[in-house]
Amino acid sequence: MIVVTKPGIPSFEIERICAELRNWNVTPEISIGTHKTIVGLVGDTAEIDPRQIQNLSPFIEEVVRVEHPFKQASLAWTYSQPSEVIVQTPSKTVTIGKNYPLIVVAGPCSVENEEMIVETALQVKAAGAQFLRGGAFKPRTSPYAFQGHGETALEWLAAAKEVSGLGIITEVMDAGDLDRIAAVADVIQIGARNMQNFSLLKKIAGVGKPILLKRGMSATIEDWLMAAEYILAAGKSQVILCERGIRTFDRKYTRNTLDLSAIPVLRTLTHLPIMIDPSHGTGKSEYVPAMAKAAIAAGCDSLMIEVHPHPDRALSDGPQSLTVREFEELMQDVGVLSQVFGRSQPSQFANATMKRFDLPTAIDGSRTIGG
């Protein structure tokens, strides 16, 4: 249930309303918008009559009951306003959300050695990426597959972060590693295999870093949003949803089925930012550019692309990783499409040349689309 106040409500009146609401054994969560303030009620509101709340103050405009089982993840929770995730990277503040420029995350599946991850970080940054991804702890289907270098890999990620200034995104598998990972990562990833590890979801909410929640391999959209609800209900508001492909009946040609329809569906259900991972979604590098561009057209807020200097030598997920050159070419397309769909800022893809699109040049020297 949310309480929407009228514009111009005094701060003392908001405090008085919240004090009254606590008498119903709920916790008020205040969200101050440009024109209105929204108070979300966390707890069991089933027996509360909205008319009782409406009568608390003449400054209350509307009381809305959230019908979905995922309350705080629901779009109604923010009164149909998309939320954003703000990340302070070593070099700048990055905002991920519907009303902001497209954000690109790139890097290898696994951190293999310091030289490789530093080299990759510098190259993906030059192409326009804002975050470096790389696994220190790797959940693998086979116990005999490469499991990552663990704490040593975290040290290598820290070195890449210092040299490149990129933000770091890496996965946590065990709550015992949370503090070590949080010391390096700017965003902590919950992988597909841990999406419904509810004890981990509760614990990760206590870490002061944004959370990237990947969709489980066989999870419905509601399963996914309920997993996000665990994090939100535990007190963490900065959550990004990442679609990375689901397992369907046809696995002959792609590793997973990348559900791009999830983007418009999620827009009707949740306020949370949406990231797309076409690398895991297809499992084959030759399909990644097409699906990445389709994701931009569908309205995603961010892309996660696996990039490796030498995919043929990668210790994990080589077949789905782009070479640095392939990533640079993709970023040229991303730069143009981001402009077309209003998801870029003038300097964001400055290093990605537009020459191969033969875009006419305006009088001021900028590139234009469509002449």
| Residue 367 belongs to some domain of the structure | no
How many angstroms from the chain centroid is the CA of residue 76?
A: 20
Domain encompassing residue 221: 84-355
| Residue 77 belongs to some domain of the structure | no
- How many domains does the structure of the chain reveal? 2
| Residue 214 belongs to some domain of the structure | yes
Do 50 and 119 lie in one domain? The reply is no
pLDDT of residue 347: 64
pLDDT of residue 269: 98
Enter the pTM of the model.
0.89
- Order of strands across the sheet that contains 27-32: 27-32, 37-42, 2-5, 60-64
Q: For the segment 175-225, what is each residue's pLDDT rounded down to a tens digit? A: 999 999 999 999 999 999 999 999 999 999 889 899 999 999 999 999 999
CB contact at 8 A, 23 and 42: no
Please tell me the distance from the alpha carbon of residue 40 to that of residue 26, in angstroms, as a whole number.
9
Please tell me the distance from the alpha carbon of residue 124 to that of residue 160, in angstroms, as a whole number.
12
Please tell me the distance from the alpha carbon of residue 197 to that of residue 217, in angstroms, as a whole number.
13
| Residue 300 belongs to some domain of the structure | yes
pLDDT of residue 43: 85
Do 41 and 183 lie in one domain? The reply is no
> Which amino acid is located at 15 in the chain?
E
Residue 65 half-sphere exposure toward CB, CA atoms < 13 A: 11
Q: Give the chain's residues under pLDDT 50.
A: 353-371
Do 48 and 180 lie in one domain? The reply is no
How many angstroms from the chain centroid is the CA of residue 18?
A: 31
Please tell me the distance from the alpha carbon of residue 43 to that of residue 25, in angstroms, as a whole number.
7
**Residue in the structure block whose two tokens are 């949803």:** 241
Compute the Cα dihedral for 27, 77, 269, 333 and give only its sign: negative
Q: Which residues pair with 219 in a beta bridge?
A: none
